[in-house]
Structure 1
Amino acid sequence: MTREEKALIIDELSQKFSNTPYFYITSAAGMSVGEVNVLRGLCFDKGIEYRVVKNTLIKKALETLDTDYTPFDAEVLKGFSGVMFHPESGKVPAQLIKEFKKTTGSDKLKFKGASVDSSVFVGESQLEVLTTLKSKQELIGDVIGLLQSPAKNVISALSSGGNKLAGILKTLSEKED
């Protein structure tokens, strides 16, 4: 690979990393061709772009960004690396990795690290956290639901209380007769 080709790949990766807020770095070392094909099929079905890239090129592309990715240097950018990009959700690639391990019964696909909205996650132990991560839309929906809940309770109490009060007044007025 020539320097010009490497520079093009680094530039392309830099743009991809800066434009995609959710990316995962994995290792598929030791996987058979069939397992890799299953992985690529799952990625395609879930809208995930999967690319195998040299660690040095990934590192140089990450250095061009504003976020500090130095935690990736020690553990993540070693050995065989593949990058998963998802444009909309930080948990879809994590769910895909777990699904792949479950369906194939293989632990050959390893989670090495991820960047989710500029937060860095390193190590296989972080995979469970990432699978339960809520998207921005889900969090906004939760907040709106929480904000609406007290108002609904007040309106409900007032409307039901009004009916009870009217019933009590009617009963009291009938007793006086």
Structure 2
Amino acid sequence: MVKKIREKKKIAVDELTDALAVAQSAVFTDYRGISTSELTTIRVKLREAGVGYRVLKNTLARRAADNTHHTNIKSAFEGPVAMAYSSSDVVAPARVLMDYLASSKSTLKVTGGYLSNKLISVDEVAELAKLPSREVLISKVLAGMQSPVAGLAMVLNGPARGLAIVLQARMKQLEG
């Protein structure tokens, strides 16, 4: 019996270690007072955005953090904690949770987050949620890079166009 429980805990630590190892960002929440149906709704919204959500046992979460390079997040595992995490989009966990909190009367509380190997505050999580997605940022950078090139092409093309217009006008003048 005890051996089975230890084996289940080891599996839980291994799964959480894997989740922490690939997580680029995470948002920690206090889920006290949340109904099962509301928690399910939150999980569905997070899953649609490619974000994982786990309710954590603090002792097991601390052991998992010790197994990864995220040892500085152990202090976040106090009280009832659940973690929304993403391995692909840094902003997604914060954005989905903050959008959900803004649109509902949920008692879910964001207690902090994790980004770039450091803990972040609730205010920083809110700021992170306001950032546009990675794709939008990339398109803005590319548009910013394209604009000067297009302007340069117009400037370089201007004299040639002017010369063509003058030559065409002179041809019309000689014909008529």
Alignment length (residue pairs)? 169
Q: 2:62 aligns with which of 42, 47, 59?
A: 59
| 1:29 maps to 2:32 | yes
Pair 135,102 (structure 1): closer, same or farther in 2 beyond 3 Å: closer
1:43 counterpart residue number = 46
2:105 counterpart residue number = 105
Please tell me whether the aligned partners of residues 26 and 86 of structure 2 are also in contact (alpha carbons under 8 angstroms): yes
In 2, the alpha carbon distance for the partners of 1:11 and 1:145 equals: 43
Taking the TM superposition and a 5 Å limit, the aligned residue runs for 1:13-162 are: 13-70=16-73, 72-73=74-75, 76-106=76-106, 108-116=107-115, 118-162=116-160
Pair 59,125 (structure 1): closer, same or farther in 2 beyond 3 Å: same
In 2, the alpha carbon distance for the partners of 1:170 and 1:47 equals: 60
Which blocks of at least 5 consecutive residues in structure 1 are unaligned? none
In 2, the alpha carbon distance for the partners of 1:131 and 1:104 equals: 16
In 1, the alpha carbon distance for the partners of 2:71 and 2:13 equals: 17
Shift of 1:52: 0.7
Shift of 1:124: 1.7
- Helix, strand or coil: the match of 1:111? strand
Which blocks of at least 5 consecutive residues in structure 2 are unaligned? none
Query: What RMSD over aligned residues (CA atoms) do the two structures have, in Å?
Result: 2.7
In 1, the alpha carbon distance for the partners of 2:45 and 2:135 equals: 24
Pair 168,68 (structure 1): closer, same or farther in 2 beyond 3 Å: farther
TM, length-normalised to structure 2: 0.78
TM, length-normalised to structure 1: 0.77
